Chains A and B, each alone.
Chain A
Amino acid sequence: GDSVTQMEGPVTLSEEAFLTINCTYTATGYPSLFWYVQYPGEGLQLLLKATKADDKGSNKGFEATYRKETTSFHLEKGSVQVSDSAVYFCALVVAENFNKFYFGSGTKLNVKP
């Protein structure tokens, strides 16, 4: 079946450190991949997406590349800020059924000044 696995948190970094949050997926069809971010007390916000292999999604300094050969979509940022502290969710949906999103369990990021 379809699923997403992301690294356990929390991840604690100092400001300006490099961030990687790992995400791997299993999909029976042709998935689109997403990263969502959830700030405390808020709903999920779409951070970036990639809809086909080798696509790179980017937004607000975050990037993720759709790697079909390794079934991965790792989230990276070169220099994190305190304001990036949040929970990050990896997700996929397959083209055959856009109603069925599969979310990872979330990775909490804490950035210290």
Chain B
Amino acid sequence: DAGITQSPRHKVTETGTPVTLRCHQTENHRYMYWYRQDPGHGLRLIHYSYGVKDTDKGEVSDGYSVSRSKTEDFLLTLESATSSQTSVYFCAISEGGQPAQYFGPGTRLTVT
């Protein structure tokens, strides 16, 4: 199994507060991704990174920002959490040029 951890695994927060989720990998893979999973929508890409300090937007990036200061860590920040951001968030990694992604265990976020 790919070495991917996410923290926290569960979080409850209030509307309007900032929240940061962390993804940590031990595989030294170049590419890292943040998805959200909601019933009926499958997985939707929020942001991804193709190297340290190199990031790009996915299809549902509004209200989210990311940072990658080290190869092993990719942070997702909800600048001002809203109830529509209640979801399960998954981090994934992949090797450059390889058509497969490996997923972390997920973070369940509830915004009240």
Contacts and interface: CB of A to CB of B under 8 A. Distances in A.
Interface of A: 32, 34, 36, 42-46, 49, 51, 89, 93, 95, 98-101, 103-106
A44 B33 CA distance: 13
A23 to B, nearest CB: 12
Nearest to A101: B101
A43 B105 contact: yes
Interface string B10-45: 000000000000000000000101000000111101
A42 B106 CA distance: 7
B48 A99 contact: yes
Interface residues of B, number: 24
Interface residue SS majority, chain A: strand
B105 A99 contact: no
Contacts of A42: 105-106
A93 B99 contact: yes
A45 to B, nearest CB: 7
Given A44-B90, A104-B42, A105-B41, A49 B104 contact: no
Contacts, number: 50
B74 interface: no
Nearest to B48: A99
Contacts of B97: 98
Contact of A98 (B45, B98, B103, B105): B98
B90 A43 contact: yes
B103 A43 contact: yes
A99 B31 contact: yes
B111 to A, nearest CB: 20
B99 A98 contact: yes
A36 B100 CA distance: 10
A51 B100 CA distance: 10
Contact of B43 (A49, A98, A103): A103
A32 B99 contact: yes
Contacts of B98: 98
8 contacts: A32-B99, A34-B99, A42-B105, A43-B4, A98-B31, A99-B33, A101-B101, A103-B43
